[in-house]
């Protein structure tokens, strides 16, 4: 198989073509050689049809096949921008459309090289300055002259050159609405409309689509609506990998025109053309583009089986995939959370790049690192963190291209080093302030705002950058006053969400009433996602104001907004019967964000809507979201979870351990199982055992505790759980965690619970109890109960047990269980019992200890009862709801009730 990392004679190549960079500055040849042996020439994240490393050598054959124009060939061999401009100037009288097309194509080629090499040098504070860079090419007189020449010759260009030139202009940064771009696009549109579909190459359509959709306005859609029928006809004529690849690019960039019928047709063609066919380099590229389309937001859950089949089709060939495509593929894998086989292969392949990052950290490697951080071990994350500290954040500024990848890396690192977080957001702010107004367009600002909110949520709300927040709010205010976002619901919802989330002394703690009123007046226009965005903002706003006790205006606004959003979500459910499972999950999560203002009718309708789906509609991703929602709302739904289990059982060989842990934890928390869950347990045990070395310490312990509860903990997991290796891993995680106030306590408590569970449930494992001192420390800090429920029970028990020597309150069992009341029955002459050695404990059950669905005990309470019974206690529970019920108001009712519990014969 041909490899995309092919290395020809690079030394000769560099010496011949790239001894100087595009702006006549000396290129560091050793760095160029090192980088281009491995890196794709991918210029940015939008599609450009021909940016693979092999094709960069001979650009003239991309757009001018079989061309013998001497001047065009000469231009294609230029090694700098100035060389191109000199040729154009010296041959001004004999220039033709072929020369002009080749010139703009080579400008784009050199720009790609600049961003791959010179931006790396700039990141390291090298000698390259902004004045010498491609960033100022749009004001370069020679380049402006080239645009004028193109305007003179564009009418003679063939369709191939027209499409490639238009795409190059877009990628270079020329405004799509400028005169030359408009002329090219209208001429190309006219040719496409008058040319038989059979004669149009799909690459022409993909270039045109990518260029025109960059309008981001109605004009672009108006132009593309005439091209859409051609794309559909071409879809039905797809025969090769190249055809499908380019049509996938078109469909991906035109989501507004897609419907289920078209996607079903596309899927059928893909299955026929791609699946079960011999592996080929072009097929790999095609699969990546198809996967990106079917994993776009609306379609991500429509074709789970096809997605998995295509991903598995790439098994064994990951090492042959171009680096940029590998980045896209890794993003799809992370989003899908399956299949395990490919996730593992990609991780192993991409991890090799980490060793290169110390000396070769450019934008491409950063993008790659941003994909592998989520699945990296604690030691590897520590290495990546030190790399950032060394090369990008604390000692150096970074370029615009690094902003996205760096965000993903820092967000997933969850670092406790605030210097890194502050350096990143300060640099983003400086870039926004010092840059041109174009970079502060509303959609770009909103993207950055969304990143900040996600970052803040990932840090559990513990991180704030007040200067960034204040400046963003100022810009958003300007956009509301002067832009169009105030009248576009999807834009206004994002602005409103950010605006209310981050109060401080400078901007105040109340929400602007005029914005609240606007939301209330236009709430009927909001979609499922808009409602979710506003709800997330309200949740963050409430948390960030929780220490402000006197905010009556805010609380009134909060209740009015939550009530209106509940009503709107009910309307959506009633009006739209065919909501996707992703939309239902978003409705559910938004409802959970409004936890202070409940609407039972909405809650039950959301749960009821899940009945429209079968296990075939689920995926690892949707199950993960659903289980999170169920735990957040504290709800157990047996029918719904059984659907999830059916999917997990059927696809067990593709599952990741972190997703298996989530479902295990749900069943443990609620203290239930089912037929399907018992069937799933062996698969779950196998998967956790398989991935035990890769899981985070907290997730691995949660999974182990659940397996212990269901008597499914194997020796192999136990051995690792209580090994020096795992305890050292935990220490490393605790030393580098971001939430040092809470995370270490959570981990230590869970480790104690696990140690206790294994000691009591698995004595044959011979695991020592090493938490005695820890339990004693905790017990010394536990305050005496002062709640009315406890005091009332204590009073009644005291009336029954006259001899206080036989009654202990607030005591502790062996292994550290808290006992509300412990009664020794065998010492009392008052009690005539056959069992004279009986120990009895009275335990109180509050609402939080019971499942909402059926008022039964949760898993931790059941585990406590089981362990106490093994330790020789008879356990009696007293539910608060029963204790405070109406029939207990009768005289002596509570005493009689206690007597029946305490002296009830087994």
138-175 residue pLDDT tens: 888 889 999 999 999 989 998 989 999 999 999 888 88
Q: What count of other Cβ atoms lies within 10 Å of the Cβ of residue 764?
A: 7
What is the per-residue pLDDT for 383? 79
Q: Are 347 and 372 in contact (CB under 8 A)?
A: yes
- Say which residues have a Cβ less than 8 Å from residue 693's Cβ, sequence separation at least 6: 720
443-452 residue pLDDT tens: 888 999 999 9
Band of pLDDT at residue 493, cut at 50, 70 and 90? very high
Band of pLDDT at residue 401, cut at 50, 70 and 90? low
Lowest-pLDDT range of 553-557, 558-562, 626-630, 782-786: 782-786
Concatenate the DSSP letters of all residues of 481-494 into one string. HHSSGGG-HHHHHH
What is the per-residue pLDDT for 354? 63
Band of pLDDT at residue 220, cut at 50, 70 and 90? confident
Max distance between CA atoms of the chain, in angstroms, equals 121
Band of pLDDT at residue 39, cut at 50, 70 and 90? very low
Handedness of CA 762, 763, 767, 769 (dihedral sign): positive
What is the per-residue pLDDT for 362? 59
- pLDDT at residue 214 tops 60: yes
Q: Are 140 and 91 in contact (CB under 8 A)?
A: no
Lowest-pLDDT range of 94-103, 279-288, 473-482, 869-878: 279-288
What is the per-residue pLDDT for 123? 44
pTM comes to 0.83
635-647 residue pLDDT tens: 999 999 999 999 9
3-state secondary structure 629-687: HHHHHCCCCHHHHHHHHHHHHHCHHHCCHHHHHHHHHHHHHHCCCCHHHHHHHHHHHHH
Q: How far apart are CA 313 and CA 295, in angstroms?
A: 16
Any idea which residue has 């999974």 for tokens? 703
Determine the average pLDDT of the residues in 562-578.
95
Q: How far apart are CA 649 and CA 654, in angstroms?
A: 10
Q: How far apart are CA 64 and CA 96, in angstroms?
A: 13
Q: Between 58 and 851, where is the model more confident?
A: 851
764-820 residue pLDDT tens: 999 999 999 999 988 888 777 778 899 999 889 888 887 777 888 888 999 999 999
Q: How far apart are CA 459 and CA 527, in angstroms?
A: 28
Concatenate the DSSP letters of all residues of 313-335 into one string. TTTT-GGGS-HHHHHHHHHHHHH
Q: Which of 122-131, 366-375, 618-627, 678-687 shows the highest mean pLDDT? A: 678-687
């Amino acid at each position: 198989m041909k490899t995309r990392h092919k290395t020809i004679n690079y030394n000769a190549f560099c010496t011949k073509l790239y001894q100087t960079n595009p702006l006549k500055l000396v290129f560091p040849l050793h760095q160029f050689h090192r980088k281009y042996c491995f890196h794709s020439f991918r210029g940015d994240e939008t599609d450009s049809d021909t940016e693979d490393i092999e094709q960069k050598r001979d650009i003239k054959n991309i757009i001018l096949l079989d061309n013998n124009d001497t001047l065009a060939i000469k231009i294609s061999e230029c090694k700098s921008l100035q060389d191109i401009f000199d040729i154009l100037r010296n041959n001004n009288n004999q220039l033709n459309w072929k020369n002009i097309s080749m010139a703009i194509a080579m400008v784009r080629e050199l720009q790609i090289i600049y961003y791959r090499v010179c931006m790396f040098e700039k990141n390291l504070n090298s000698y390259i300055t902004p004045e010498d860079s491609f960033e100022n090419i749009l004001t370069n007189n020679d380049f402006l002259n080239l645009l004028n020449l193109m305007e003179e010759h564009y009418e003679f260009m063939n369709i191939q050159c027209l499409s490639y030139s238009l795409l190059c202009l877009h990628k270079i940064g020329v405004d799509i609405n400028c005169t030359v771009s408009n002329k090219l696009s209208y001429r190309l549109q006219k040719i496409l409309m008058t040319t038989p579909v059979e004669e149009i190459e799909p690459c022409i359509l993909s270039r045109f689509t990518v260029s025109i959709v960059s309008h981001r306005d109605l004009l672009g859609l108006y132009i593309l609506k005439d091209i859409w029928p051609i794309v559909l006809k071409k879809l039905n004529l797809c025969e090769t990998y190249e055809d499908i690849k380019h049509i996938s690019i078109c469909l991906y960039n035109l989501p507004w025109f897609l419907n289920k019928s078209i996607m079903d047709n596309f899927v059928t063609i893909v299955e026929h053309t791609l699946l079960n066919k011999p592996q080929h380099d072009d097929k790999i590229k095609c699969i990546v583009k198809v996967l990106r389309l079917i994993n776009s937001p609306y379609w991500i859950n429509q074709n789970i089986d096809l997605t998995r089949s295509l991903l598995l089709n790439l098994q064994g060939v990951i090492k042959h995939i171009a680096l940029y495509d590998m980045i896209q593929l890794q993003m799809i894998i992370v989003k899908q959370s399956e299949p395990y086989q490919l996730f593992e292969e990609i991780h192993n392949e991409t991890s090799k790049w980490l060793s290169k990052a110390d000396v070769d950290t450019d934008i491409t490697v950063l993008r790659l690192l941003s994909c592998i951080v989520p699945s990296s071990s604690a030691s590897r994350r520590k290495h990546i963190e030190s790399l950032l500290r060394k090369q990008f954040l604390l000692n150096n500024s970074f370029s615009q291209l690094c902003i996205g990848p760096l965000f993903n890396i820092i967000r997933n690192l969850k670092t406790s080093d605030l210097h890194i977080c502050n350096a990143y957001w300060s640099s983003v702010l400086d870039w926004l302030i010092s840059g041109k107004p174009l970079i502060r367009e509303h959609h770009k600002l909103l993207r950055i705002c969304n990143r900040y909110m996600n970052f803040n949520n990932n840090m559990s709300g513990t991180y704030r950058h007040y200067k960034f927040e204040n400046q963003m709010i100022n810009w958003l205010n300007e956009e509301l006053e002067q832009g169009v976002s105030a009248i576009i619901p999807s834009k206004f919802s994002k602005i409103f969400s950010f605006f209310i989330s981050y109060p401080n002394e400078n901007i105040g703690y109340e929400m602007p009433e005029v914005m609240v009123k606007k939301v209330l007046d236009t709430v009927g226009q909001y979609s499922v996602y808009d409602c979710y965005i506003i709800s997330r903002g309200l949740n963050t706003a409430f948390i960030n104001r929780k220490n402000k006790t006197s905010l009556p205006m805010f609380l009134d606004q909060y209740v009015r907004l939550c009530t209106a959003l509940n009503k709107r979500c009910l309307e959506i459910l009633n009006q739209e019967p065919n909501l996707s499972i992703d939309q239902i999950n978003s409705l559910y999560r938004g409802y959970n964000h409004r936890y202070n203002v409940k609407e039972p009718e909405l809650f039950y309708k959301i749960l009821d809507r899940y009945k429209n789906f079968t296990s075939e509609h689920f995926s690892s991703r949707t199950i993960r979201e659903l289980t999170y929602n169920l735990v957040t709302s504290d709800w157990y739904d047996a029918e719904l979870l059984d659907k999830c289990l059916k999917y997990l059982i059927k696809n067990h060989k593709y599952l990741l351990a972190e997703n298996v842990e989530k479902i295990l934890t749900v069943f443990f928390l609620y203290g239930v199982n089912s037929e399907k869950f018992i069937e799933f347990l062996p698969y779950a045990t196998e998967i956790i055992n398989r991935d035990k070395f890769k899981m985070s310490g907290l997730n691995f312990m949660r999974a182990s505790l659940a397996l212990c509860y269901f008597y499914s903990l194997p020796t192999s997991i136990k051995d690792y759980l209580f090994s020096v290796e795992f305890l050292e891993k935990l220490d490393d995680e605790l030393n580098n965690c971001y939430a040092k106030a809470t995370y270490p306590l959570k981990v230590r408590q869970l480790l104690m619970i696990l140690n206790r569970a294994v000691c009591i449930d698995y004595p044959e494992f011979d695991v020592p109890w090493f938490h005695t001192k820890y339990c004693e420390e905790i017990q010394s800090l536990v305050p005496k109960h002062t709640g009315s429920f406890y005091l009332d029970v204590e009073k009644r028990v005291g009336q029954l047990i006259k001899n206080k020597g036989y009654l202990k309150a607030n005591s502790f069992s062996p292994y550290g269980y808290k006992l509300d009341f412990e009664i020794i029955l065998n010492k009392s002459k008052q009690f005539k019992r056959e069992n004279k050695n009986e120990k009895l404990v009275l335990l109180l059950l509050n609402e939080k200890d019971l499942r909402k669905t059926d008022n039964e005990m949760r898993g931790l309470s059941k585990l406590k009862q089981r362990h106490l019974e093994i330790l020789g206690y008879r356990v009696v529970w007293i539910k608060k709801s029963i204790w405070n019920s109406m029939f207990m108001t009768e005289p002596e009712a509570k005493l009689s009730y206690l007597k029946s519990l305490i002296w009830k014969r087994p």
